[in-house]
A and B are shown apart, each in its own frame.
Chain A
Amino acid sequence: MPVNFFPAEFDVVRNTDKCIKCRACERQCSNEVHFYDADFDKMLTRDAQCVDCQRCVCICPTGALKIVPNPNDFRKSPNYTHQLMIENYRQAGTGAVLLSSMGTPKEYPIYWDKILINASQVTNPSIDPLREPMETKVFLGKKPAGIRKNPDGSVCTKIDPYLELSTPIMFSAMSYGSISKNAHESLARAAEELGIYYNTGEGGLHRDFYRYGANTIVQVASGRFGVFKDYLDTGAAIEIKMGQGAKPGIGGHLPGQKIGEDVSRTRMIPMGTDAISPAPHHDIYSIEDLRQLIFSLKEATEYTKPVIVKIAAVHNVAAIASGIARSGADIIAIDGFRGGTGAAPTRIRDNVGIPIELALAAVDQRLRDEGIRNEVSIVAAGSVRCSSDVVKAIALGADAVYIATPALLALGCHLCRTCHSGKCNWGIATQRPDLVKRLNPEVGYKRLVNLVHAWDHEIKEIMGGMGINSVEALRGNRLMLRGIGLTQKELDILGIRHAGE
């Protein structure tokens, strides 16, 4: 065996006083880290195979396991970090593009954490959401600019198609293929029970889930996988995916080994072939082309469903959003660069795009300046991590948010960031039948419902504190926000004042 240039990333530490050799860790590790040795009568480990998914730690009945970073380190350099050195070693070994999953772990600024929320004192008193009504319902779509009249003089009550959400949270696009059928079912059932929406991603819609159509956003991406009439007709809204925050400028890539019989049928591609979405939509090279696709889809569905255009947050996002708002889209989804993914080239994930907070503020401001903010709703995505992030996003101008990573956490994900291996021990980002069954949707959907309910409670608490009793009244209300530790430029872009001002 050639010299291994880098040591195991993690140490699997077993307390042998506690270990009862039940071998649950061994049975539950798809990376084959744990094994029983009969000669020693002991459980042993292959540390180098550990991805720190914590499945064994969580399932160990006696709490005998711990996974810690391997303390062994290369000679310190702030420039050539341990991680960079390993990545170069790895590439020198494989000659391949580095792949990663989930959101970037790099230490970019997180503006959510540099924004503080206001609360009422004395005047404009705060509201107790347990005693007084508090509205979190929102509608996404075009809002009429004024009262219109029919030729006979009566008021026109016909409005454009819209989505109605019980709370301003939706589950963002995760395709069947990148995640398991059970994960998809959990999302679909939770969306139905919550009165919100989940998003198919670009993998089509499994026949078993057509029954959740009223709570489904069907996505049309550059690969057009699984797109056909029934699919479009089934969804409550159609989303055109132009870009994704985790990998702006490139398309999705689902490796062939994840394309089994069911995924193949759903995506309408042969089994075992890589599902590679082109970087661009080959029929879209301008806003006018985008408009053609939007209206093709509207035409196909007889103008009954709102169309969402999803873009990655990139440098000139405000101008792009302005174009989209004028292209006929009903909703713009903006995906920040810290958002997750089932697989992305590491260098792109870690270096391309901009934070959602800045992009959102810029887009909202631009559309207002141009007087077209009512033409579209804005959905913020890409690392909305908790209810206070939701509140801040709405105050920065969002109508609603997309969440995905928190949804995965609810299903058991421990952010080990190895989705691309297809060996997810939590049964989420895998198609291996023995792993898929680890996620019982009966359990999964209830946890998702719990999570969103909990966030909804917190949103109401926070809004109440500000003396605001509806999401409508919070949207774009940047006076409720203050920056902390931000430069004047950052404050200007965010459109907020500094704390103390």
Chain B
Amino acid sequence: MKRVYVNEDWCLGCHLCEFYCAFANSGETDMSKAFKLGRNAAPRIRIEEGDGINFAVSCRHCQDPACVKGCIAGALSINNGVIEINKDKCVGCYTCVLSCPYGCIVIDPQNDGMTVTKCELCTRNNAGEPACAANCPNRAIVYEERGEA
């Protein structure tokens, strides 16, 4: 299955992936509008910054995902390998935040934290392919098949 991978050698820490992610999931067609209307579009990818090292982290779409198994509401599910969140079912208990070993479940500010949100590989927005990878200026983030273990 194709997944989003980051190569920290090339990640510049520009944070553009976060902005493109938030934009792709904002439902807006103009980036300025997406951020200026104050709708708190939330990125589902996160840049970690260190001393000379940066990298982006987003949902790994685990085959045996702790978040899905632990979800008390049945709000997380796997659809063709993509772990999806059903915000209508999510009650915002954050058991998935507790479970995800990558720290990739995001408390959704758009919903005042009443639900979580997460990377769905842009399968449920209009971006077509993951916006983080498509817009990474240095190809540090790639969306590709690397085979399953």
Closest CB in chain A relative to B139 CB, distance in Å: 5
**Within residues 6 to 24 of chain B, which ones have a CB less than 8 A from any CB in chain A?**
9-16, 19-20, 23
B135 within 8 Å of A (CB atoms): yes
Excluding A439-B138, A440-B139, 20 further A-B contacts by CB distance (< 8 Å) are A17-B32, A21-B35, A22-B15, A22-B35, A24-B14, A24-B16, A27-B12, A27-B14, A27-B15, A61-B19, A62-B32, A433-B52, A437-B10, A437-B12, A438-B138, A440-B10, A440-B138, A440-B140, A442-B139, A443-B138
Q: 10 smallest A-B Cβ distances: which pairs?
A: A20-B35, A440-B10, A22-B19, A18-B32, A440-B138, A62-B32, A24-B14, A62-B31, A443-B139, A440-B139
| Other-chain contact of A22, B12, B16, B139 (Cβ < 8 Å) | B16
Main secondary structure of the interface of A (DSSP, over half): loop
Asked if A20 contacts B31 (CB within 8 A), the reply is yes
Residues of A with C-beta under 8 A to B12: 27-28, 434, 437-438
Closest CB in chain A relative to B79 CB, distance in Å: 29
> In the complex the two chains form, what is the Cα distance from A20 to B23 in whole Å?
11
Residues of B with C-beta under 8 A to A19: 32
Q: How many residues of A contact B (CB 8 A)?
A: 22
A366 within 8 Å of B (CB atoms): no
Residues of B with C-beta under 8 A to A59: 14, 16, 137
Q: How many residues of B contact A (CB 8 A)?
A: 22
User: 27 A-B residue contacts at CB 8 Å?
Assistant: A18-B32, A19-B32, A20-B19, A20-B31, A20-B34, A20-B35, A22-B35, A23-B15, A24-B16, A27-B15, A59-B14, A59-B16, A59-B137, A61-B135, A62-B31, A62-B32, A64-B32, A434-B52, A437-B10, A437-B138, A438-B138, A439-B138, A440-B138, A440-B139, A440-B140, A442-B10, A442-B139
A440-B138, A442-B139 known; A28+B36 contact, CB < 8 A = no
> In the complex the two chains form, what is the Cα distance from A433 to B138 in whole Å?
15
- Residues in B lying within 8 Å of A, measured CB to CB: 9-16, 19-20, 23, 31-32, 34-36, 52, 135, 137-140
Closest CB in chain A relative to B144 CB, distance in Å: 12
Residues of A with C-beta under 8 A to B31: 20, 61-62
Q: Which residue of A lies closest to B47 (CB)?
A: A27
Interface-centre pick from A20, A21, A438 (highest chain B CB count, 10 A) = A20
> In the complex the two chains form, what is the Cα distance from A435 to B54 in whole Å?
13
Interface-centre pick from B14, B16, B20, B31 (highest chain A CB count, 10 A) = B14
- Residues in A lying within 8 Å of B, measured CB to CB: 17-24, 27-28, 59, 61-62, 64, 433-434, 437-440, 442-443
> In the complex the two chains form, what is the Cα distance from A23 to B23 in whole Å?
15
Q: Which residue of A lies closest to B13 (CB)?
A: A27
A28-B14, A437-B10 known; A20+B36 contact, CB < 8 A = yes
> In the complex the two chains form, what is the Cα distance from A24 to B14 in whole Å?
5
> In the complex the two chains form, what is the Cα distance from A440 to B142 in whole Å?
13
Closest CB in chain A relative to B65 CB, distance in Å: 30
Residues of A with C-beta under 8 A to B139: 440, 442-443
Q: Which residue of A lies closest to B31 (CB)?
A: A62
Closest CB in chain B relative to A294 CB, distance in Å: 41
> In the complex the two chains form, what is the Cα distance from A21 to B22 in whole Å?
14
Residues of B with C-beta under 8 A to A21: 35
> In the complex the two chains form, what is the Cα distance from A17 to B31 in whole Å?
11
> In the complex the two chains form, what is the Cα distance from A438 to B12 in whole Å?
6
> In the complex the two chains form, what is the Cα distance from A354 to B34 in whole Å?
55
Q: Which residue of B lies closest to A443 (CB)?
A: B139
Asked if B32 contacts A24 (CB within 8 A), the reply is no
Q: Which residue of B lies closest to A17 (CB)?
A: B32
Closest CB in chain A relative to B22 CB, distance in Å: 10
Q: Which residue of B lies closest to A434 (CB)?
A: B52
Closest CB in chain A relative to B143 CB, distance in Å: 15
Asked if A61 contacts B138 (CB within 8 A), the reply is no
Closest CB in chain A relative to B43 CB, distance in Å: 11
Residues of A with C-beta under 8 A to B10: 437, 440, 442
Asked if A20 contacts B32 (CB within 8 A), the reply is yes
Closest CB in chain B relative to A66 CB, distance in Å: 15
Residues of A with C-beta under 8 A to B35: 20-22
> In the complex the two chains form, what is the Cα distance from A473 to B139 in whole Å?
42
Q: Which residue of B lies closest to A27 (CB)?
A: B14
